[in-house]
Structure 1
Amino acid sequence: MNNLLPIHFAPLQGYTDAAYRQAHARIFGGIDTYYSPFVRVEHGEIRRKDARDIHPENNRNIHLIPQLIASCPNKLEQIMSLLTEHNYQEADINLGCPFPMLAKRHNGAGMLPYPEEVKDLLTAAIEQYPQIRFSVKLRLGWENASECIALLPLLNALPLAHIILHPRLGKQQYKGEVDLNGFEAFYDGCDKPLLYNGDLHTIEDIQIITERFPKLAGLVIGRGLLANPALAWEYRQGRKLSPSEMAAKVKQLHTAVYNSYEEQLQGGEMQLLMKMKSFWEYLLPDGDRKAKKVIHKTGKLANYQAAVDSLLASYK
């Protein structure tokens, strides 16, 4: 395949933390840029787990762009003080998160119906931190796809490194189809490097998007990479891993993430078990259903390990 585009790994809260990113980069690779799940201010302070997740010590040997979410310039400043302290030179501003609890407070996609608030936030970022290359991740809108079009003059005027657009509405969450006509309307009017995000699960999905939108600057994949961690590598190599190759690599990934969590978590067996269950939520959707059921239902680490072994052994 000619003219391969950069692949960026989208952040997903609770899944793509530092332990996962490090293991994925080492075992699967194929990713140009990883994004952290968004850093946010809660009860006046940056969440400790967010600060730990973006610490450079925990993100060696990968290109990480920390993502932030903020409803006003003051909260943005608080987060940016942490990022500049760690010498980050890039940051991604989240205008796409669809979770209602955050959106109703004008965070993420919940800010899209309020262009003046978007302008205040982005202008503050650009003016106060000229040394930082900012990007923006957004959806088509919260209520309707005209919201992103209304923001185009502002986005085109700002010195943004790139824009990531997920062609759903915030109120859709992750349900329903992506709106490629909505994406096209934004794509046609966008002067900045534009990256596509949304429902890329196979090399064929990627080809459909890159053929329809030949001027794209890159692709951003989240759930598709959690389901098939080899997807970016396969796109680059032009071949799919065999089931046995995939099982061997997933086993390595699982071991690396498990060991990291075992070291980090202080809450004993149950906390480790709950954390590892989420590892399987998207992974290998075509894997043995019986083993997956045991993984999700069990309350014992020994049973969990046996079910993981069974799942990987049956993945042929």
Structure 2
Amino acid sequence: MNENRLPIYFAPLQGYTDSAYRLAHARIFGGINTYYSPFVRVEHGEIRRKDIREIHPDNNGEMHFIPQLIAPTPDKLEQIMALFIEYGYREADINLGCPFPMLVKRHNGAGMLPHPKEVEALLKTAVEKFPEIRFSVKLRLGWEHADECLALLPLLNELPLSHVTLHPRLGIQQYKGTVDWNGFEAFYKGCDKPLLYNGDIHTPDDIESIVARFPRLVGVVIGRGLLANPALAWEYQQGHPLSSDEMAKKVRLLHNEVFNAYKERLQGGDLQLLTKMKSFWEYLLPNADRKAKKIIHKTTKLSNYEVAVARLFAEL
């Protein structure tokens, strides 16, 4: 990687950046400093089985990989951390940014931001009970008010965190509307920890302009922008885009590797495989052949899907 460029971190997205995708992306595109898992959580007293499988070291190759957790209470955090430690991880990311209402109403993710005492109990439990772990935190500006993150700054600055990632939206926005640059700048000015920016990055120029505006950033976290253009981090690091032929070749390789991994892992037959592959295309190549993408998203037959994908690749 270019030493003059900031490291790029691949944001976790539930249903998209699973281990099959991460492994394929790291091998075929690269350019990423760190991959995060979608958050691990406790449901009905137990860690979800798919979360356990997804973060197993055997399923994450040689990439720099950090598991992420989401928990509303210290006891659930401790339960998840026991698994991380069992698997040999010495880094963990704590999610205080998830905006999904079903989780927020139970004080998960961004739902904790209006409750600083709960955040304090959670984070202090983490650093005090697991001193061998390098914790990071990802958060939003707040749930309803952009100053909620500012109220947490004294706590975040006090704790021995490896870094903080801020997505400058409110939780109630979900992923709609625009990012709040003034809100990010206020947090940036008061944050003593290494800070990463996350939100609405689609091109290398977007990264350059953010870095120019906030020169103390130590990294950039990208999610949907990388799903749309898997070469984005590589292009930023190298300082030039992939050729159209090379991009087409690599996207085809990415698709085939992910398709074959799902085909091997999933036990629900063609329909389950088709459903998973539809999510693969939700963000990818937004300007690709529209008719082929429409068939991909609407078909109920795997054979039709494969014909549509072949057509799309022929047009790249």
Report the TM-score when normalising by structure 1.
0.99
Using the alignment, how far apart are the partners of 1:86 and 1:61 within structure 2?
14
1:39 equivalent in structure 2: 40
- Displaced runs of 4 or more, over 6 A: none
In structure 2, the partner of 1:97 is 98
Q: Which moved more, 1:67-76 or 1:302-311?
A: 302-311
Aligned to 2:169: 168
1:283 and 2:284 aligned: yes
Deviation at 1:242, TM superposition (A): 2.2
Letter of the 1:302 partner, please give it.
Answer: S
User: Displacement, 1:300?
Assistant: 1.1
CA distance in 1 between partners of 2:3 and 2:201 (Å): 19
Partner of 1:184: 185
Aligned to 1:204: 205
1: CA distance between counterparts of 2:44 and 2:30?
37
Q: Distance in 2 between matches of 1:3 and 1:241?
A: 20
Task: Confirm whether residue 270 of structure 1 aligns to residue 271 of structure 2.
Answer: yes
What is the 5 A alignment of 1:48-127?
48-127=49-128
Equivalent residue pairs, number: 315
Partner of 1:165: helix, strand, or coil?
Answer: strand
1:33, 1:177 → 2: CA distance?
Answer: 26
Task: Supply the distance in 1 between the matched residues of 2:73 and 2:45 (Cα, whole angstroms).
Answer: 13
Separation in 2 of the partners of 1:282 and 1:152? 34
Q: Separation in 1 of the partners of 2:251 and 2:6?
A: 25
> Equivalents in 2 of 1:267, 1:106: separation in Å?
33
SS at structure 2 position matched to 1:93: strand
**How much identity, in percent, do the aligned residues show?**
73
- Hey, what does 1:242 align to over in structure 2? 243
Determine the structure 2 residue equivalent to 1:233.
234
* Cα-to-partner distance string for 1:28-70 (whole Å, 9 max, x where unaligned): 0000000000000001100000000000000011111000000
**Amino acid paired to 1:182:** G
CA distance in 2, matches of 1:292, 1:66: 32
1:303 aligns with 2:269: no
Secondary structure at 1:91 match in 2: strand
Unaligned runs of 5+ in 2: none
Q: Is the 8 A contact 1:134 1:160 kept in 2?
A: yes
Amino acid corresponding to residue 8 of structure 2 in structure 1: I
Structure 2 counterpart of 1:57, one-letter code: D
What is the distance in 2 between the residues matched to 1:31 and 1:207? 16
State the Cα distance separating 1:301 from its structure 2 match.
Answer: 1.0
After superposition, what is the alpha-carbon deviation per residue over 1:220-278, rounded to whole angstroms, capped at 9, x for unaligned?
Answer: 00000000000000001111112222111010000000110011001111111111110
1:194 counterpart residue number: 195
How far does residue 313 in structure 1 lie from its aligned partner after superposition?
Answer: 1.1
| Cα distance in structure 2, aligned partners of 1:286 and 1:89 | 40
CA distance in 2, matches of 1:269, 1:142: 40
Partner Cα distance (2:314, 2:212) in 1: 38
Contact 1:36/1:64 (<8 A) preserved: yes
Secondary structure, counterpart of 1:163 in structure 2: strand
Counterpart residue identity of residue 192, structure 1: K
Q: C-alpha separation between the residues in 2 aligned to 1:172 and 1:242?
A: 36
Once residues 279 and 118 of structure 1 are traced to their aligned partners in structure 2, the CA distance between those partners, rounded to angstroms, is: 34
Distance 2:108 2:193 in 1: 23
Gaps (5+ residues) in structure 1? none
**Deviation for aligned residue 1:204:** 1.0
CA distance in 1, matches of 2:108, 2:294: 35
1:137-161 deviation per Cα after TM superposition (whole angstroms, max 9, x unaligned)? 0000001110000000000000000
Give the root-mean-square deviation of aligned CA atoms. Answer: 0.8
* 2:222 equivalent to 1:221: yes
Give the secondary structure class of the aligned counterpart of 1:87.
coil
- Deviation per residue, 1:176-225 (Å, 9 max, x gap): 00001100000000000000000000011111100000000100000000
Give CA deviations for 1:94-147 in whole Å, capped at 9, x if unaligned: 000000100011000000000000000000000000000000000000011100
